[in-house]
Each structure stands twice: as C-alpha cells, then as structure tokens.
Amino acid sequence: MNFEKLKQAERWFLNRYPGGFAHPDMQAIGKRHKVDKMIVLTQECFAKKNFRDTQDIIDNMVKIIARSSMVSIFEKPKFKDLANSLRPKEKNLLVAGLKEQLHGDQRKGFEKILDVLKIGKMTKWSLISICPVYFRPQHEVFVKPTTTKLVIAQLELHSLTYKPMPSWAFYEEYRAIINDMKSKVDPCLSPNSPAFSGFLMMSLGAME
C-alpha cells in the first residue's frame, strides 16, 4: 500500500473539511444517505431471532436494498423481481446464506447468497455487501466497483485484482486492508465504513 498517498488524501480531506465527518458539509451529506437510520433498521430486521420467518427476511432484504442510497437504482427493482421469482428452496438458501453471513460462517453465507444471485444473473458486489456493512458498520465494507478500483489503483494495492464477479477471497482481503487503513488515519475520517469509503472516493478522486 502507498502509505504516503493515503496520508496525502487525509491532509487534502481535513484541509477541505476540518473535523472530517463532523464538518457541517459532511453532516449534510450523511443526512441525505441516512446511514445511521439504515444501520438501525438493518440490525433490527436481521436480529438472529428473526430468521425463523423466511419470507419476512426476504421482504426485509428487498426493503433494505430499495432504501439504500449506495445501491444503484437499476439494481433495486431487479433484485426485487429476483426475490419474488425464487422457488421455496431458493428462498431458503438465500435466507440461510444471510444468516450465516451475519451470524455464522461468513464465507459459507457469502457463497450461498452468490449462488442465489447467479440464478437471476444478479451477481453484483453491491447486493452481496450492503446488508453486512449496515449490520456491522465498523467492520464490514461496501464494495462499490468504481470506488474499489480507484482505491486499488491510487493506493497501489498490488495484492488485489478487482473482478466483477464477487468472491470471498477478494472481499476478505479488501476488508482487512480497509480496516488497516482506518487505523492509520484520524478517527474522524471513519465514523463507519461507508463514511471511510466516501473519504477515499472524494480525496483520491480529487487527487487523480
């Protein structure tokens, strides 16, 4: 990783927005994205005790994705159509995957969800990473292709090669690198993982 480039990004952002995400301009952007509300909603919807009702979990997945400002407007209706078209066994697989992803073996859950997304040719990074990042916003990461490719290129993450097809190996390593980066900059840049990704997108994009 190019540590000096990361520190340059930190200086650029804090010079423009003193206090980081506590700056009024960043607070205004945060309100538009409603990240705090989405975190609370996701944690309530996907509490472990709720996974007894398969259809309710699927309905809530559709709701979270529909309300998220981080998911493309083109992907939202397509995911809803996919969820509605699933057969009972496929619905059970999707819900079992989310339960594993949030409460059990994350890799196993990731791969189960990916198998279901393949049915509808909806293997999108956004769809497989959005629920976890709202559920554990300090630890998980949202993989947005444009931002992820920018971070890899600008910070010279040579161990990572972005591919459109989601994979657990990539997610696990990218998450570890992002969390390591958070420990190396001012905490005001990472009130949560989506905010930190926003910092990287804005600062590295401006420095290109």
Asked whether residue 76 falls in the same domain as residue 152, the answer is no
- String of b and e for 64-88 (b: at least 16 CB within 10 Å)? bbeebebbeeebbebbbebbeebee
Asked whether residue 164 falls in the same domain as residue 203, the answer is yes
Domain, as residue range, for 10: 3-31+139-207
> Last residue of some domain: 135, 150, 172?
135
Q: pLDDT tens digits for 166-185?
A: 999 999 999 999 999 999 99
Mention every residue, 6+ apart, whose C-beta is less than 8 A from residue 43: 134, 135
Structurally, the chain folds into a number of domains equal to 2
Asked whether residue 102 falls in the same domain as residue 41, the answer is yes
Amino acid present at 64: I
Asked whether residue 112 falls in the same domain as residue 158, the answer is no
Output the CA–CA distances (angstroms, integers) from residue 133 to 4, 14, 38, 130, 206, in the order listed.
27, 24, 10, 5, 25
Asked whether residue 116 falls in the same domain as residue 159, the answer is no
Asked whether residue 192 falls in the same domain as residue 115, the answer is no
Asked whether residue 12 falls in the same domain as residue 93, the answer is no
Mean pLDDT of the residues in the chain: 95
Among 29, 47, 174, smallest CA distance to 103 is for: 47
In the block, which residue shows the tokens 């497989």? 128
Asked whether residue 176 falls in the same domain as residue 119, the answer is no
Distance CA 61, CA 77 (A): 12
Asked whether residue 59 falls in the same domain as residue 126, the answer is yes
Output the CA–CA distances (angstroms, integers) from residue 69 to 39, 126, 180, in the order listed.
13, 11, 26
Q: pLDDT tens digits for 79-136?
A: 999 999 999 999 999 999 999 999 999 999 999 999 999 999 999 999 999 999 999 9
Q: What is the predicted pLDDT for the residue at 206?
A: 85
Asked whether residue 73 falls in the same domain as residue 161, the answer is no
> Last residue of some domain: 109, 135, 161?
135
